[in-house]
Structure formats: structure tokens, C-alpha cells
Homo-oligomer: A and B are copies of this chain.
Amino acid sequence: MLFVTSVEILVNRNAQNGSVDVLDLLQGWGSGVGTYDDFNTIDWVREKSKDRDRHREISRKRRQSITALLLSVSDAFSGWLLMLLIGLMSGALAGGIDIAAHWLTDLKEGVCLNGFWFNHEHCCWNSKETTFQERHRCPQWKSWAELTVGVTEGASAYVVNYLMYVIWALLFSFLAVFLVRAFAPYACGSGIPEIKTILSGFIIRGYLGKWTLVIKTITLVLAVASGLSLGKEGPLVHVACCCGNIFCHLFTKYRKNEAKRREVLSAASAVGVSVAFGAPIGGVLFSLEEVSYYFPLKTLWRSFFAALVAAFTLRSINPFGNSRLVLFYVEFHTPWHLLELFPFVLLGIFGGLWGALFIRANIAWCRRRKATRLGRYPVLEVAVVSLATAVLAFPNDYTRMSGSELISELFNDCSLLDSSKLCDYGPLAKGGEPAGNLSEGTVGQAERPAGPGVYTAVWQLAMALLFKMAITVVTFGMKVPSGLFIPSMAVGAVAGRLLGIGMEQLAYYHHDWDMFHGWCSPGAHCITPGLYAMLGAAACLGGVTRMTVSLVVIMFELTGGLEYIVPLMAAVMTSKWVADALGREGIYEAHIRLNGYPFLEPKEEFVHKTLATDVMRPRRSDPPLSVVTQDGMTVEELEGLISDTSYSGFPVVVSPESHRLVGFVLRRDLVISIDNARRCQEGIVGVSRVIFTEHTPVEAQGAPPPLNLRAILDLSPLAITDHTPMEITVDIFRKLGLRQCLVTQNGRLLGIITKKDILKHMAQMANRDPDSILFN
């Protein structure tokens, strides 16, 4: 299939140039022309031309028959169908992952006698004996201690439960790392750095394949259930992109065109965030702001559709039983006061500091892993980290629960019915009824002194904060699927809640202070610690990922009120500024650089005053540029040139003396074409002349027939002058998605700049190691 199309395209491309023998071509080229090697960069211009050719062909045929018309209509709608499929599948997978992870998480604590496949909540669903306070206790649900030792309280029960918790955690994490290692090494990590790189035009075969999808889905459940400090949000983006890539194979349009497929993947990453946070608009903006490289408006519209379909699918599955898409949906009822912007900005500063420090620490740790023996034992590493996490997490309620549960608890605004420790407030000291009585449960409580529960909770939260901060650094980057959103948000939520409780107690004990005057009178509800937790979470996530608009919109969709956008913006903006001051890169860019992917960051401005001539190859000391002349080389000479050099393409010039540029030919195309010609075309031998001109000249009597390769010649290579500033060159590469660009001086071909040259130059100018860019 690919063979025919490539030739068709080549024929089309040539038809416009005039007289090329079509039969000649049909014999000539193999199936590889126009495709890419693994770990190579695609040529956006070529891919988009290919798609336009295909589109023209369909439009042309449309007028000829009904079948062709129907085909053209189905072609036009295939994009929408694809989006529908991706939305349905991703929504379903996300629902499945939520349910399975919930069940396995509860399995660490106990088992349901009605059926081991029920999670704690479902097990006690129909239990009538429970009050609202004790809705999570029912006779059907047995903790491991109850089941084995027969007691629910006391030291022995605690030890048994502890032991079982650790064993299950170890088992889950071991299974996860084992599956990843054995079946799909690409399933590890969050996947977002790689997806960003792929979307920018890089080829990583198998990264979005079937096996990766299956293994990532399973191991994600296991990794989340094991209690490691990781989340499912980033991997969900990877899962959605795998779905997108797999469904692409159903449609020729997307299967055969790397650029078109990347449009689908952009939409799929929007779908991933949409199901992760129940935020379709936020997801689309995330894709636009954070991951996508090329995002035409058509993709915007389709992404939005897919994100909605996915959100609705997830809601029909209803994994949390509350027709919400996420565990930590929040509703606040108290307005915030302008003075509170001060603590909000403090949270932003904390988030920025944490983000920058986390990135440094994590990158240092990952470098260490790569450089030392540590990297050779990934299974052991996971086991050790998992053991440490489980052992340290169990004693503390707030680390024992899963990340989402923790965030949900911290975001929660205390109502009078709440039984959690965080809501254990004492009675009002200085007379006056709590205002909460007036409108129970809806407006929340009046400021009251913290009870013993809150004090315990504060200590536990402080411990949890330190623990989460430390363990997340070593967890992210291990060989299990691991997202960063939830751990970052958890750190921020804990810090925010602590600050919120502090503010609340301050307001209670010192409501006579000027700053609380006319706002926090006794008996009034003025500070919402849950809001602080939310802002802290946003700030930390912002510091780590450097998301801005998408983060605010995601949070806005979680809370559902325009009311809190101003505090959110204040916190997120401060966090970004602080973090940027300490290091320009977000965690994903840092990991891209760590892995040496050829990613041309669209956000980073190139500020240096170098010129194209400083970057192009050959350098002054190098041998001259390897060029192909349009009619002067033999097959043997070309083969020699190919084997002597490793360049991925050669400029074609009129003559070696004039160095006037004719076109550009790719190494891969050249190799395949010569191979094919030698095999299939009669009379092609080593001394046959290779011709790139329009008209094949008549050879002297007795000489072998020439090989005309104009069909594989790119007649429109982009050329810039040697005086072009690099800032403009970088812009051209970014915006047009080039792989290479030729450099001329006063009309003579002088050299070539590839994407890799640019990346190396940028690394050099930023005082980084230019050899860290590994791939082409």
C-alpha cells in the first residue's frame, strides 16, 4: 500500500515538472521512500505536502463517480469518527483505571466478604447498620487483622494490618515494574516529555503502540494502588495518546501521514487531561499550552469534541459513584477577602520554590541513576522505594490514604457533619452561637478554636509534607508509570491547608487585629482552609510544570466558580515567576533534555546574536561540504559518498565549481532508490551516470543507461543567507518544522544547518553540554 502511494506522490510531484517517464518510476522505487527511521525527525513541510496531494487526489476523483464521492465524504468525516473513538476508549479506560485502582488500594487494608472484587465503599453500600458517621464500617468488610488474628484493635491487629499493607504494596509495585520491564519498557514514567517530543516531529517507534497501552493501563493501576507517591494524570495522557495512535491505523489518512497523526495525538492529549481532571476545556488548553507543537484551529475544535466525549463516557461509568469525574471536586461557599491575597501569594512563592527545587533534585537524582550502578537495578530500586514508602506511610493517616483521597480531604470545607480529624473544632470560647447552626452544612462553620483532632492532624500533615516532598523526588523517573500531578498537588494542598488552619486560628484568637477588622468578626465564617489547600495545590503544580492558563482553567472547572479565579491566578502567577527565576525549565523540558531528545522548545526565545554562518556545517576547519552534482556523478561515486559520510541528506548543485543550489536529496531515499534501481532496472551498473536534471541526456554509444533520480529530489529546499541571525533561523525552524536548511552566501551554497546543529548551538550558548542531544 505504502509503495503505491509513495510512487503516486512522486509521480504527482513530477507531473508538474513536465516529462518524467512514469513507468520508469514505477519500477524504480521501493516501499521506503518517504518514510522515516526510528529516532529521527520528520519533515513537516513534506508531510503536509503529501497530505495536500492526497486531498487533491480525492477532490479530483470526487466528480467522477458516486463511490468516489462517498469515499471523499467518509474521508472528511473520518477525523470526527476518530475523535469519537478516542474519546469513548479513553473515557472507558480512565473509568476502568479509577475503579481498579480504588479496589486494589482498599485491598491493602482488607477484603470484602461478599466478594473480593468489591472495594470498601461498594462493600458497605447496602449495609443498613451503619450511620453516616460510620458509613465505612460494616460487617462485610474485614480488615486483614480481623480476618487472620480475629481482632480489630490493639497492637497485634496494628502489626498485622501494617504487615499486610507493606506486603501488598510491595507485591503491586513489583508486579508493575516486572510487567514494564518484561513487556513494554516504554510504559514507564509519565510519558509527557516523550509525547511532547513526538508531537514536535520525532519518531519513537512503539512508544504509542498496543503493548505500551495494555501494559501501561495495567501497571498504572498497580503503581497507583501500591501507594507510591505518584499519580495517574500524566500516564492517562500517554494512555489516551496510545488510543489515538492505535485508532489512527484504521484510517489511511492518518496511518500514512506523520503530520496528520500528530494532530490526532494533540487532541488525544487533551482527552487525557479531560478524563484525569474532568476538565474538557482545561484539557484542550493543556494540549495547546503544554504539549502540542503544531496546533491548527481544526485540531482545537476536534480536541474539544474528543475531550467532551471522553468526559461524558467517564461520567456514564461514574467511577466514584457521585456523578463527578474526579475525587476532589470542590464547592466553596464563602467569599474570599482582598487581604487574603497576601497568604495566597505566599502559597505561590512556596509553590514556585518547591517546583524549582523539586526539578533540580529530581534531575540530579535521575542523572545519578543514569551515571551510576543504580540504573542497572530498576526492579530493586522500585522495590526499595516502595518498601520505604509503605513502611513510612502506614503510621500516618494522611500518607496511608491515596494521593487523590488526601487531596479530596484537604480541599474539603468542613461542615458540621464532618467527622474527620481536620474538622474537629472545639466549641466557641467567647460566647455566641456558631453561625454554622443557622445554615447547617451549607455555609460551613464559624471560626472556632481548633480541637485536639485538628492539632493531631496538623502534626501529621507536617510530617506528611516532609515525607511527600522527599519521596516524590526519588519516585518520579522510576521504571513504573508515574504521574507528577497528584504528588505535586498533594504537597501543595498539605502546605495550603496548614497555612489555612493557621490563618483561621489567627483570625479566631486575634479577630480584634486591624487586618481582621470588619471582616472576621466573632461568630462569622471568614477563612476557608480548603481554599488555601486548593491554591497551594495549584501553586505547586504550577511550579513543577509551569502551566499557567490551562492550570487555572482546570482548577476553575474543578471548583466551578469564577469567584476563585483571581486568587488562583495570583497563586499560579507568583509560583511561575518564582520558579522561573530559579530555573527556566519545567519538569517536562528538564526530562526531555535529560534524555537528549531533539526538542526545539517553542516557548524559549533565542536571545543570542550569532549568525547562521556560526552554526552551519562545515565549520572552518572541516572538510568542504559533501554535495552531489546534478549530472556529473556515477552510481559508484554516489555509493562511495553515502558510505563515507553519515549525513542524512545531500544538497544537489549545478556543478562543484559554481555551487549553485538545485535541490536536496535525502540519504535514505538515495540509498533505497539506488538499491531498487540496481535490483529492478535493467542496465544500471556502477558506472551508470546518476542524473537529477529534468531531461535525461542521451548517453554516448556503449555507455550504460543513466539513472534519473529527479523524482526523489526535493526541488524546493529552503535556503537562508549566511548573514541570517540565528534568532530568525530558529524561528524558521520552529514555525515551518524544518529538519534542515541550506545556507548560501551571495548565491553560492556554503553549508547546511540541521535541527541538531541548532539544538547543539542553543545548548552551547546556554552553557550546557552540546553533546547531550543524542538523536537526529
Chain A residues near B (Cβ < 8 Å): 16-17, 45, 48-49, 52, 55-56, 59, 280-281, 284, 288-289, 297-298, 300-301, 304-305, 308, 311-312, 548-549, 552-553, 556, 560, 562, 565-566, 569, 573, 602-603, 605, 607, 609, 611-612, 653-654, 658-663, 715-721, 723-725, 727-728, 731-732, 735-736, 744, 746-749
Task: Give the residue of B305, B569, B720 whose beta carbon is less than 8 angstroms from that of A569.
Answer: B305
> Which chain B residues lie closer than 8 Å to A607 at the CB level?
52, 55-56, 59
Q: Are A49 and B727 in contact (CB under 8 A)?
A: yes
- Is the pair B565, A308 in contact by a Cβ cutoff of 8 Å? yes
Complex Cα gap A605–B716 (Å)? 19
User: Is there contact, CB below 8 Å, between A746 and B716?
Assistant: no
Query: Considering the chains assembled together, what is the distance between the CA atoms of A717 and B744 in angstroms?
Result: 11
Assembled-state Cα–Cα distance A653/B735 (Å): 28
Residue of B nearest to A737 (CB): B735
Report 21 cross-chain contacts, Cβ distance below 8 Å, ordered by A residue: A56-B609, A280-B562, A280-B565, A281-B281, A281-B556, A289-B300, A304-B552, A308-B566, A308-B569, A312-B566, A654-B746, A654-B747, A661-B744, A661-B747, A663-B721, A715-B721, A715-B724, A716-B725, A716-B728, A731-B736, A747-B749
Task: Determine if A300 and B56 form an interchain contact, defined as CB atoms under 8 angstroms apart.
Answer: no
CA A542 to CA B378, docked complex, whole Å: 54
Which chain B residue has the least Cβ–Cβ distance from A303?
B549
- Which of B552, B723, B736, B746 meets A660, CB within 8 Å? B746
Please, which residues of chain B bring their CB within 8 A of the CB of A289?
297, 300
Residues of B within 8 A of A717 (CB): 721
Q: Hey, which chain B residues are within 8 Å of A605, CB to CB?
A: 52
The answer to whether A45 touches B659 (Cβ under 8 A) is: no
Question: Contacts of A719 on B, CB cut-off 8 Å?
Answer: 719-721, 744
> Which B residues are in CB contact (< 8 Å) with A602?
297
Closest to A729 in B: B716
Q: How far is the CA of A297 from the CA of B586 in the complex (A)?
A: 15
Please name all residues of chain B whose beta carbon is closer than 8 Å to the beta carbon of A603 when the two chains form the complex. Answer: 297-298
Which residues of the partner chain B approach A653 to less than 8 Å between Cβ atoms? Answer: 747
- What CA separation (Å) do A560 and B662 show in the bound complex? 59
Q: Establish whether residues A747 and B660, one from each chain, have CB atoms under 8 Å apart when the complex forms.
A: yes
Among residues of B, the one whose C-beta sits closest to the C-beta of A734 is: B735
Residue of B nearest to A573 (CB): B305
For residue A16, which residues in chain B have a CB less than 8 angstroms away from its CB?
609, 611, 725
With A56-B609, A289-B300 known, 16 other A-B pairs at CB within 8 A are: A16-B609, A45-B731, A49-B727, A52-B605, A281-B556, A304-B569, A305-B569, A308-B565, A654-B747, A658-B747, A660-B746, A663-B721, A731-B736, A735-B735, A744-B747, A747-B747
Q: How far is the CA of A417 from the CA of B562 in the complex (A)?
A: 29
**How many angstroms between the C-alpha atoms of A660 and B728 in the bound complex?**
22
Is there an interface contact between A281 and B553, defined as CB atoms closer than 8 Å? yes
Q: How far is the CB of A538 from chain B (nearest CB, A)?
A: 14
Partner of A715, one of B281, B659, B723: B723
Of all chain B residues, the one with the shortest Cβ separation from A305 is B569
A301 with B661: CB separation less than 8 A: no
What CA separation (Å) do A10 and B519 show in the bound complex? 58
Contact in complex: B549, A301 (CB < 8 Å): yes
Contact residues in B for A304 (Cβ distance below 8 Å): 549, 552, 569
A45 to B52 alpha-carbon distance, docked (Å): 27
User: Smallest Cβ distance from A744 to chain B, in angstroms?
Assistant: 7
A10 to chain B, nearest CB (A): 14
- Complex Cα distance, B548 from A284, in Å, reads 14
The 6 closest A-B pairs by CB, nearest first: A660-B747, A716-B724, A715-B723, A735-B735, A301-B548, A660-B746
CB distance from A301 to the nearest CB of B (A): 5
